[in-house]
Amino acid sequence: MFRTSDIVLIAVMVSAAALTYKAKREAEEQLASVQKIEAQIRYEEDTIDLLKADWSLLTQPSRLQKLAEIYKSQLALEPVNARQIVGLDDLPAKPLNIEDLSSQRLGGMADNSGKGPADKDPVVTGAIVQ
């Protein structure tokens, strides 16, 4: 009836068919995964485009000018005077003393000396009078 070689060949063919089916199924799963990721990328790109459009709409100079006029009393904005604009050479140089900086206690997140943030920040800007 069947010889041993026939049974071995049938077993090899069945196992080859099973391996082929398994490889095909894994490839289809990978393809579905890639398509899902591509759909997510397209969604994110569309979201980015929408946010860029929203941002350009919100930052239109005419809109900002209208809002500045509406909220003029709360914002207290004024046009810049020509005397307020100076060149870099006109600004005074502030000497930096390294020894003073290294001798100061370094304050940070673990600093619980009780000093307020204004006492820790030695930077003085031109916009805030202290």
Other C-beta atoms within 10 Å of 107: how many?
A: 14
On the question of pLDDT at 122 being above 60, the answer is no
> Model confidence over 36-57: pLDDT tens digits?
999 999 999 999 999 999 999 8
- pTM exceeding the 0.85 threshold for the entire prediction: no
List Cβ neighbours of 75 (8 Å cut-off, separation of 6 or more).
68
Q: At residue 26, what is the residue type? A: E
Cα 99 from chain centroid? 38
Q: Which of 50, 59, 54 is nearest to 67 (CA)?
A: 59
Taking residues 94-110, report their average pLDDT: 63
